[in-house]
Amino acid sequence: MNNFFKFLRRAYIWFLYKIEMHPDMDVRIRKLKELGFSIGENVFLDNVEIEDLYPEFLKIEDDVVIAYGTRILVHDSSMNNLFGDPIRFGKVNIKKGAYIGSKCIIMPGVTIGEGALIGAGSLVTHDVRDHFVAFGTPAKEYMKVSLYREKFLKNIDKDKYYYWEVAPFSKRILEENWLEKEKKSYKNFIKTKVDKK
């Protein structure tokens, strides 16, 4: 019976993949790779907008996480539309282990360094060095990720926030029945952390 449900799930995913509606990251990444994009292993894209027509201009290396609603641009047609000048293209390279927060805009020609952290809502117009935190509009480098982590860990349970100890999402979704486990873990977090305060 278990094999039957696996078959149904595969058929369902295949159908949604064909009509491009499935939220599963693996399906989206597989489709981008089929279009010619260079995307590494263990990459997590959460509803990321990518210009499908220009795969030669985007490279995403291993272990990259790009949060909900980020948009990656590889061309600028402003001068073309205003004056008929050539369209400018720029390669975007997101290096290994980088994290890009929700609702960012990555402009053409930008390299985001290995292990870099881009804050939510940032407009990235220039390169970000390896292992640096950058945020803002336009995004600016503020400190090394290691220093940011030190400050983060120092403030756990000393500020107004709640901290849910759980593996990174890109690893959680690889587990069988991840959503049920997620819900159970979250309920436990609420019960033991939030309800106590």
Q: Are residues 4 and 91 in the same domain?
A: no
Q: Residue 19: pLDDT above 60?
A: no
Q: Are residues 91 and 176 in the same domain?
A: no
Q: Are residues 105 and 172 in the same domain?
A: no
Q: Are residues 23 and 40 in the same domain?
A: no
For the domain that residue 79 is a member of, what is the CATH number?
A: 2.160.10.10
Q: Are residues 188 and 104 in the same domain?
A: no
Q: Residues, the chain, total? A: 197
185 in a structural domain: yes
Which own/partner contact pairs does 23-32 have at CB distance under 8 Å and 24+ positions apart?
23/47, 25/170, 25/173
Q: Are residues 95 and 115 in the same domain?
A: yes
Q: Are residues 13 and 44 in the same domain?
A: no
150 in a structural domain: no
- Provide the greatest CA pair distance for the chain: 64
101 or 24, which is more confident? 101
Helices marked H in 57-177 = 78-83, 145-154, 169-172
User: Residues 123-150: what's their mean pLDDT?
Assistant: 97
Q: Are residues 81 and 41 in the same domain?
A: yes
Strand-pair category, 88-89 with 75-76: antiparallel
Q: For 37-101, give the DSSP string.
A: -EE-SS-EESS-EE-TT-GGGEEE-TT-EE-TT-EE--EE-HHHHHH-PPPEE--EEE-TT-EE-
47 in a structural domain: yes
Could you tell me the pLDDT band of residue 7, with boundaries at 50, 70 and 90?
Answer: low
Q: Residue 20: pLDDT above 50?
A: no
Q: Are residues 140 and 192 in the same domain?
A: no
What is the tens place of the pLDDT at every residue in 44-73? 888 899 988 999 999 999 999 999 999 999
Helix (H) or strand (E) holding 86: none
Phi-psi region of 159 (alpha: psi -120 to 50; beta: other; left: phi over 0): beta
User: Residues 161-182: what's their mean pLDDT?
Assistant: 82
Predicted local distance difference test score (pLDDT) of residue 174? 74
Q: How many domains does the chain contain in total?
A: 3
192 in a structural domain: yes
User: Residues 19-28: what's their mean pLDDT?
Assistant: 55
Q: Are residues 110 and 174 in the same domain?
A: no
Predicted local distance difference test score (pLDDT) of residue 21? 43
Q: Are residues 121 and 174 in the same domain?
A: no
Average pLDDT for the chain: 86
Q: Are residues 51 and 124 in the same domain?
A: yes
Could you tell me the pLDDT band of residue 194, with boundaries at 50, 70 and 90?
Answer: confident
149 in a structural domain: no
The whole domain housing 3 covers 1-28
96 in a structural domain: yes
Of the candidates 114, 66, 126, the residue with the CA atom closest to the CA atom of residue 90: 126
> Which residue has tokens 């901290």?
163
Predicted local distance difference test score (pLDDT) of residue 12? 57
